[in-house]
Amino acid sequence: MSRIADDLVVLDDSTNVKLLESFQQGVFPDRARQTNRDFRNWLYLTKNRGRLLYCEKDGIVAGQQGMIDTELQVQSRGVPAVWAVDLRVRPEWKMKGLGVALIGTALSQNGVVLAVGISDDAHKMFKRQGWVDLGRVASFIRPVSARGMAKHGSPQSFIGRAIRSMIAFVLEICDFKLRILLGFGRRGIEIERVKKFDDSIDSFLSTWAAEHVVSCARSADFLNWRFRDCPLDSEYQIYKFSDKDKLMGYMVLCSGERNGKQTLFVEELISRPEHYRLLVDSAIRFAYEQGLDAIYYRGLDSKLQQTLSRRLFVGRSDGPRFMFHCDNDRIGSVLAKSANWRISSADSDMGFSLDS
């Protein structure tokens, strides 16, 4: 491993990007975000949000490991951490210790390392290194059309389509009546689409973080970097919620295709738990207004997940695997309980690929 460590380099403005791009084009799918130069620069070379570590050997790049910096709020205390992302090794370099060296460097440099979307091979390696497996990130889907109710890849019979259309029609009527009913008593509440997060959210976030045992730090600067400045094609819809000019929270949505269905993705939802129902109902309304088929959520927030279930969101088993490594036993004991966590698609790289 020491020999490999001598060849590890951190991406910076002096990097020979041609070697790096050649490697990335060979190990990632066509048109993947990892091969997008603007995305790579945004993630790793702006505002010190992340770092890309790679191994250059004999004139080629043999492997890479990305890291996105974050700060965990653990029982209201700040704990530096990183999200490990995009670990890749050339096929001919597998089983030679390079992957272990790359992730091992991340572990040696950071007290807490987090990862979602871990492959089966990486999962085995992580377990050997002492990572803790938290299971899978919660995943929920809510159909809002007949197509949204159809099972992906299943035959579409005439009777099946007719039944789904009828159910979708009844569901839409029920959703409409419920919105009217719940609308009474909500005078003064304003939901407006905005171009960016303003500084008023920073003081709100300090109170919001106290609602969760473990969460990733948030700020207006971070959220604007993540959603407004992100160079991917996704158009993020940022909504601000207020009651008589008092901030109640924000929600970030994004529409795209998932399993052949036009889907509204809940990328971020920041509010006190008593307002979750209002925000979820608003997302349902927006999905109808945009003529979409379904709403999809991935994240960890036990109270939000309860609200989604009450609004007929169906839990799925396809959420990404979630693991962490911590060198502090006291902090690790808190992190080891998945119910303590609050994460969203704004964290790590969950939200970068909508159809993953």
Closest CA to 62 of 17, 107, 103, 94: 94
Average pLDDT over residues 197-214: 91
Q: What angle do CA 137, 138, 141 make, to 5 degrees?
A: 135
pLDDT tens digits, 297-336: 999 999 999 999 999 999 999 899 999 999 999 999 999 9
Give pLDDT, residue 31.
86
Domain boundaries defined on the chain: 2-137, 139-318
Q: Say which CATH class 2-137 falls into.
A: alpha beta
Q: What is the rounded distance in angstroms from the CA atom of residue 166 to the CA atom of residue 345?
A: 33
Inter-residue contact 239 to 272 (CB < 8 Å): no
At 13, is the pLDDT very low, low, confident or very high (cuts 50, 70, 90)? Answer: confident
Q: Which amino acid is at 41?
A: N
Average pLDDT over residues 256-283: 93
Inter-residue contact 286 to 262 (CB < 8 Å): no
Q: What is the rounded distance in angstroms from the CA atom of residue 83 to the CA atom of residue 104?
A: 14
Q: What is the rounded distance in angstroms from the CA atom of residue 172 to the CA atom of residue 176?
A: 6
Give pLDDT, residue 28.
94
SS3 sequence of 105-159: HHHHHCCEEEEECCCHHHHHHHHHCCCEEEEECEEEEEECCHHHHCCCCCCCCHH
As a whole-number percent, the residues of the chain with pLDDT over 70 amount to 89
Closest CA to 211 of 338, 282, 313, 303: 303
Average pLDDT over residues 70-82: 95
Instruction: Kindly state the tokens that stand for 295.
Output: 């709403």
pTM: 0.89
pLDDT at residue 67 tops 90: yes
pLDDT tens digits, 34-51: 999 999 999 999 878 999
Is pLDDT larger for residue 213 or for residue 95?
A: 213
pLDDT at residue 356 tops 90: no
Of 148-152, 260-264, 271-275, 317-321, where does mean pLDDT reach its minimum?
Answer: 148-152
pLDDT tens digits, 109-145: 999 999 999 988 889 999 999 999 999 999 999 999 8
At 161, is the pLDDT very low, low, confident or very high (cuts 50, 70, 90)? Answer: low
Mean pLDDT over each residue of the chain, to the nearest integer: 89
Identical topology for domains 2-137 and 139-318 = yes
Give pLDDT, residue 2.
47
Q: What is the rounded distance in angstroms from the CA atom of residue 298 to the CA atom of residue 319?
A: 7
Average pLDDT over residues 209-230: 94
Give pLDDT, residue 76.
87
As a whole-number percent, the residues of the chain with pLDDT over 90 amount to 69
Closest CA to 293 of 163, 152, 139, 137: 152
Please give the radius of gyration of the chain, using alpha carbons only, rounded to the nearest integer. 22
According to the CATH classification, is domain 139-318 in 3.40.630.30? yes
Residue 293: phi, psi to the nearest 5? -100, -30
Average pLDDT over residues 80-89: 96
Average pLDDT over residues 241-259: 91
Average pLDDT over residues 241-265: 92
Is pLDDT larger for residue 106 or for residue 168?
A: 106
Give pLDDT, residue 254.
95
Inter-residue contact 137 to 116 (CB < 8 Å): yes
Q: What is the rounded distance in angstroms from the CA atom of residue 45 to the CA atom of residue 39?
A: 10
